[in-house]
């Protein structure tokens, strides 16, 4: 297929912050953007040329999107795969519904990892009461995760015994789940790759991630971020996982590095990822520009990081310094006065605890400088 050139319209299913940053990247390059999202006030819809607000499975809405857009991508993984299949009849859809469907289901996702020869945490599929009884004892203590629709630690329960497992599976509504062995994590990292329709693959350096309460809090990327051998294996594994899917688009693969140094894959996201937001400010090509390029069939330029970087997620909690008071706007002017501070706010009208409202990337000449500035910023934000 020929490249889709600037001037054309790119479509995105989902109107959250990832769609908004995709729209910014596409518009900078001269594309128009059409967003489908049920929320009339969605972060991406507010900055796009066209905003279709219907449900993701609405046949009429999908037809309108296909009518407007020359190619279509997604920005969150719970888009119904049948909607993507439906769109693909009319227009190129990247990533393909088949790859998104695998990433949406932890059972299929783990089989894919195993099939690609990449180690994941020891696990068992839990789909019946019998499977609860038969769970191998070495998987306990473990984490029970719903196979579908989990994010930011939602849909997960820690269990120590078989009795707790049975109770947790009941609480989960006896939906299909996986039980994963609880592993001793040293740290977590992720790798973002972009793969074109011609099979060309480029990647960003491994990102070191810190989660709080199941939500990404901080990402750091600098030269000694991840030990060389683990970093190389993480990149090779992410590339193998993308190639195994014949993937076209941007894919993020999350890993655990264990206390003994072993690398274990955790999960993947078939889209740009929160842990890659730093690429907007510290690389010559961002994860969102690569999403545009893979979607439009343009050549992929290997990204070059030009500065150490640290990203702080800005959750709605920052708007509530006092417990039950009204929301207060954080001290943006002071934060913006910090050298190397790059503020990104997603245009969400209502701040809520745990809600991703924006992020702050700090760049600087060394990671020590960057961390110093980030400490200042964190103190200012309370």
- Contacts to ligand ADP by CB under 6 A: 121, 143, 145, 150-153, 180, 182-183, 185, 188, 211, 214, 254, 266-267
Cβ-based nearer residue to ligand ADP, 159 or 283: 159
CB 53 within 8 A of CB 43: no
Contacts of 317 (CB under 8 A, 6+ apart): 353, 354
Distance CA 299, CA 285 (A): 12
Cβ-based nearer residue to ligand ADP, 15 or 142: 142
* Shortest distance in whole angstroms from residue 158 CB to ligand ADP: 9
* Shortest distance in whole angstroms from residue 138 CB to ligand ADP: 13
Cβ-based nearer residue to ligand ADP, 152 or 334: 152
* Shortest distance in whole angstroms from residue 155 CB to ligand ADP: 7
Cβ-based nearer residue to ligand ADP, 24 or 359: 359
Signed CA dihedral, 39, 40, 45, 47: sign only? negative
* Shortest distance in whole angstroms from residue 167 CB to ligand ADP: 19
Cα angle for residues 346, 101, 74 (degrees, 5° grid): 30
* Shortest distance in whole angstroms from residue 3 CB to ligand ADP: 34
* Shortest distance in whole angstroms from residue 188 CB to ligand ADP: 5
* Shortest distance in whole angstroms from residue 4 CB to ligand ADP: 32
Question: Phi-psi bin for 63: left (phi > 0), alpha (psi -120 to 50), beta?
Answer: alpha
CB 316 within 8 A of CB 353: yes
Cβ atoms within 10 Å of 329's Cβ, excluding its own:
8
Cβ-based nearer residue to ligand ADP, 77 or 289: 77
Cβ-based nearer residue to ligand ADP, 254 or 289: 254
Cβ-based nearer residue to ligand ADP, 251 or 283: 251
Cβ atoms within 10 Å of 38's Cβ, excluding its own:
15
* Shortest distance in whole angstroms from residue 275 CB to ligand ADP: 10
Cβ-based nearer residue to ligand ADP, 152 or 164: 152
Among 217, 165, 223, smallest CA distance to 359 is for 217
């Amino acid at each position: 297929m020929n490249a889709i050139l600037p001037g054309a319209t790119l479509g995105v299913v989902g109107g959250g912050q990832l769609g908004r940053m995709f729209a910014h990247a596409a518009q900078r390059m001269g594309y128009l953007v059409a967003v489908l999202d049920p929320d009339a006030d969605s972060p991406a819809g507010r900055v796009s040329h066209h905003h279709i607000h219907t449900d993701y499975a609405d046949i009429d809405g999908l037809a309108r999107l296909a009518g407007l857009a020359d190619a279509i991508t997604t920005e969150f993984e719970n888009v119904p795969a049948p909607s993507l299949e439906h769109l693909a009849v009319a227009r190129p859809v990247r990533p393909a519904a088949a790859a998104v469907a695998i990433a949406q289901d932890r059972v299929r996702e783990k089989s894919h990892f195993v099939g690609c020869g990449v180690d994941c945490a020891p696990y068992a599929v839990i789909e019946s009461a019998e499977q609860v009884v038969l769970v191998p004892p070495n998987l306990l203590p473990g984490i029970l995760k719903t196979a579908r629709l989990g994010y930011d630690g939602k849909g997960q329960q820690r269990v120590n015994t078989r009795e707790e497992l049975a109770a947790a599976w009941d609480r989960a509504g006896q939906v299909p789940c996986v039980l994963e062995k609880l592993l001793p994590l040293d740290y977590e990292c992720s790798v973002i790759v972009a793969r074109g329709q011609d099979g060309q693959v480029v990647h960003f350096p491994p990102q070191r991630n810190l989660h709080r309460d199941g939500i990404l809090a901080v990402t750091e990327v600098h030269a000694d971020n991840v030990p060389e051998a683990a970093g190389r294996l993480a990149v090779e594994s992410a590339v193998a996982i993308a190639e195994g899917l014949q993937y076209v688009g941007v894919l993020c693969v999350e890993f655990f590095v264990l206390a003994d140094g072993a690398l274990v894959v955790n999960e993947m996201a078939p889209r740009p990822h929160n842990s890659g937001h730093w690429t907007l400010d510290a690389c010559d090509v961002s994860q969102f520009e690569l999403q545009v390029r893979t979607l439009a069939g343009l050549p992929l330029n290997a990204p070059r990081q030009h500065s150490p970087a640290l990203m702080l997620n800005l959750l709605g909690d920052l708007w509530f310094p006092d417990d039950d008071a009204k929301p207060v706007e954080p001290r943006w002017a002071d934060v913006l006065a910090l050298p190397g501070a790059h503020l990104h706010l997603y245009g969400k009208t209502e701040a809520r605890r745990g809600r991703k409202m924006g992020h702050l990337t700090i760049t600087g000449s060394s990671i020590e400088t960057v961390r110093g500035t980030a400490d200042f910023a964190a103190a200012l934000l309370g």
